[in-house]
C-alpha cells in the first residue's frame, strides 16, 4: 500500500546524491589535494635548500686553507658560503643580517647562519638556511597565518689537511722522484737539503770535496748499508761513493726508510729504519712493496695537482692565460720565460713568446717543457711564489738570484727537473718529478708544507666532506 508512495518519493530525490557529494565530499577532496600540493611544495623547497646548504658548507670549508690569519679565513668562508647559496637557490636574495638566526618575512629571502668549529684535528663549517615557503591552493588561504610555513636545513662540512708525512703525500718531501730512471743527481758542491727525500731510484753525489748534506729522512727501495763501497752498486741507494756525503748520512744524522724488498738475503719491511750495516732497527710501519708504495704516491700527487688546476682555471683542457691572476695554463703547449717586474711591482715570469712587461706569471701549467729563467731583469727581488707544473715535459729552473728564497712547487711526473744557475740560492717548497738533478752550488732546497698555497691563496693539500 505504501510502496507506490515510496517509489514516487525516491524518484523526486535523484539530485540529492549529487548535492550531498558537492557539499560534503568535494570539499574533503579539495582539501586533500591542497595538502598534497603544499606538502610537495615544501619538500621541493626543502630539497633545494639542503642542496644549497651542502654546496655552501663544502665551499666554505675549503677556505680554511686560503690564508693564515683567522680574520681573512672567516671573511673568505662567509663570502664563499653566500656565493654558493645564491648560485643554488633560484630567484632568492640573501638576508641583510649576517648570520641571522630568525626566519625572514619575505618568502623570496633566505637567511644564513654560519658557524665555524673544530672536531679533533679537523675544522668544520656549519651552514643553516632558513626561509618561508609560500603555500598554494585556495583551500588553506582562509586560515590566518597559514599562507606560508617556516623551513630550515643544516649542513656541516669537515676540512682536514693532508698529512705532510712522506708515506701519504709526495709533497711532504723536499724532493720526491718516481718512475723509470728516477735518480737524484747532486752535481755540484755545498748543496744542502732541508727536508725528506724519497726516491725509487738512486742518489748520485759528485765531487770528492763536496760538502753536500741532508737533514731529514731518506725513503727508497734500495739498500742503505752498501753506500760505503767505492764502486757503484745497483742494489744500493747510493750510485756513487762520496766520503763527504757519507759522513753526513750516518744513522746518527739521517734516518733511512727502506721499502719492502728482498735484497742481500733479507726481507725488509717498508719504512723500517735501517742502520749503516743494513740491519732492520724497527718495524713500526705497514708493510708494502716498493711498487705499490710509489704507485699510490704518484696517484695521490696526480689527484692533488688535478684538484689544484681545477681550482684556478675556468675550464680544464682549454687554454687560460690571465695576466691579472698571473696564471699561464696551456694544456697542449710549453713555456719559456724569465723574471720581470710589472709596473705595479709584481714579480713573475714573462713569456718569451709575448714580450709584455705587464703580463707576468707565477703559476705555469703546461703539457710540455718549462724553462724558467730566474734572471735579474729590471728588478732585484726574486718571485715570492712560483708554481711550475709540467704534465709530460721537463722543467729547467735556472736561478741566478743571490741569497734570496723562492717559495713554490715544481711538479714534473714524466720529466727531469734541472736546477741550474749560480749563487747561494734557496728554494723553499717541494719538488715532485720523474728525476732530479742540481748543478747550482751553494744552494738550499728546503721543504715547506705551505708550498701549494701559491699566489692564488688556494690550497689543494686538503680533503673536505659532509658530516651532517
Convert the pLDDT of each residue in 209-248 to its tens digit.
Answer: 456 677 777 888 777 654 444 444 556 777 765 554 544 4
Of the listed ranges 174-183, 309-318, 321-330, 444-453, the least confidently predicted one is 444-453
What average pLDDT does this structure show over 74-79? 89
What average pLDDT does this structure show over 81-104? 81
Is the pLDDT score of 192 beyond 90? no
Q: Please tell me which of 136-140, 179-183, 233-237, 412-416 the model is most confident about, judged by mean pLDDT.
A: 412-416
How sure is the predictor about 23, in pLDDT bands with cuts at 50, 70 and 90? low
* pLDDT at position 368: 96
Is the pLDDT score of 176 beyond 90? yes
Assign 3-class secondary structure to 126-182: EEEEEEEEECCCHHHCCCCCCCEEEEEEEEEEEEEECCCCCCCCHHHCCEEECCCCC
Name the residue with higher pLDDT: 171 or 452: 171
Q: Comparing C-alpha atoms, which of 153, 157, 137, 151 is closest to residue 55? A: 157
Is the pLDDT score of 168 beyond 70? no
Name the residue with higher pLDDT: 40 or 16: 40
Is the pLDDT score of 120 beyond 90? no
Q: Comparing C-alpha atoms, which of 129, 126, 184 is closest to residue 158? A: 126
Is the pLDDT score of 44 beyond 70? yes
Task: Write down the domain spans for the chain.
Answer: 3-161, 170-461
Is the pLDDT score of 323 beyond 60? yes
pLDDT digits (tens, 9 = 90+) for 326-379: 899 999 999 998 888 777 778 888 887 777 878 889 899 999 999 998 876 656
The grid coordinates listed for 329 are 695554463
pLDDT digits (tens, 9 = 90+) for 421-448: 776 678 888 999 999 999 887 788 988 8
Amino acid at each position: 500500500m505504501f510502496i507506490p508512495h515510496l517509489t514516487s518519493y525516491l524518484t523526486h530525490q535523484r539530485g540529492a546524491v549529487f548535492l550531498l557529494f558537492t557539499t560534503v565530499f568535494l570539499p574533503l577532496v579539495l582539501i586533500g589535494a591542497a595538502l598534497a600540493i603544499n606538502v610537495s611544495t615544501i619538500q621541493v623547497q626543502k630539497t633545494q635548500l639542503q642542496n644549497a646548504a651542502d654546496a655552501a658548507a663544502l665551499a666554505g670549508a675549503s677556505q680554511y686553507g686560503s690564508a693564515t690569519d683567522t680574520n681573512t679565513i672567516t671573511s673568505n668562508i662567509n663570502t664563499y658560503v653566500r656565493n654558493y647559496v645564491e648560485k643554488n637557490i633560484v630567484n632568492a636574495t640573501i638576508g641583510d643580517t649576517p648570520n641571522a638566526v630568525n626566519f625572514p618575512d619575505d618568502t623570496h629571502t633566505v637567511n644564513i647562519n654560519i658557524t665555524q668549529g673544530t672536531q679533533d684535528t679537523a675544522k668544520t663549517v656549519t651552514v643553516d638556511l632558513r626561509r618561508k615557503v609560500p603555500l598554494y591552493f585556495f583551500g588553506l588561504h582562509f586560515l590566518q597565518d597559514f599562507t606560508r610555513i617556516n623551513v630550515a636545513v643544516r649542513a656541516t662540512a669537515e676540512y682536514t689537511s693532508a698529512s705532510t708525512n712522506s708515506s701519504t703525500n709526495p709533497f711532504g718531501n723536499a724532493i720526491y722522484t718516481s718512475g723509470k730512471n728516477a735518480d737524484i743527481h747532486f752535481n755540484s758542491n755545498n748543496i744542502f737539503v732541508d727536508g725528506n727525500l724519497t726516491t725509487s731510484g738512486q742518489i748520485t753525489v759528485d765531487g770528492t770535496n763536496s760538502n753536500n748534506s741532508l737533514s731529514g729522512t731518506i725513503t727508497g727501495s734500495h739498500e742503505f748499508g752498501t753506500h760505503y763501497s767505492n764502486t757503484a752498486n745497483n742494489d744500493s741507494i747510493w750510485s756513487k761513493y762520496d766520503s763527504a756525503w757519507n759522513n753526513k748520512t750516518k744513522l746518527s744524522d739521517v734516518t733511512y726508510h727502506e721499502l719492502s724488498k728482498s735484497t742481500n738475503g733479507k726481507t725488509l719491511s717498508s719504512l723500517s729504519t735501517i742502520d749503516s750495516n743494513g740491519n732492520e732497527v724497527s718495524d713500526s710501519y705497514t708493510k708494502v712493496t716498493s711498487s705499490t708504495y710509489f704507485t699510490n704516491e704518484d696517484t695521490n700527487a696526480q689527484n692533488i695537482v688535478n684538484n689544484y688546476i681545477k681550482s684556478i682555471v675556468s675550464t680544464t683542457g682549454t687554454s687560460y692565460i690571465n695576466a691579472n691572476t698571473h696564471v699561464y695554463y696551456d694544456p697542449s703547449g710549453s713555456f719559456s720565460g724569465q723574471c720581470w717586474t710589472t709596473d705595479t711591482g709584481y714579480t713573475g715570469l714573462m713569456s718569451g713568446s709575448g714580450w709584455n712587461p705587464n703580463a707576468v706569471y707565477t703559476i705555469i701549467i703546461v703539457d710540455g717543457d718549462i724553462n724558467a729563467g730566474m734572471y735579474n731583469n729590471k728588478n732585484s727581488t726574486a718571485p715570492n711564489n712560483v708554481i711550475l707544473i709540467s704534465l709530460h715535459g721537463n722543467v729547467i729552473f735556472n736561478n741566478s738570484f743571490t741569497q734570496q728564497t723562492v717559495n713554490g712547487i715544481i711538479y714534473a711526473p714524466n720529466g727531469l727537473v734541472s736546477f741550474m744557475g749560480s749563487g747561494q740560492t734557496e728554494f723553499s717548497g717541494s719538488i715532485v718529478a720523474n728525476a732530479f738533478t742540481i748543478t747550482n752550488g751553494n744552494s738550499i732546497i728546503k721543504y715547506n708544507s705551505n708550498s701549494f698555497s701559491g699566489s692564488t691563496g688556494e690550497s689543494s693539500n686538503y680533503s673536505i666532506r659532509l658530516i651532517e
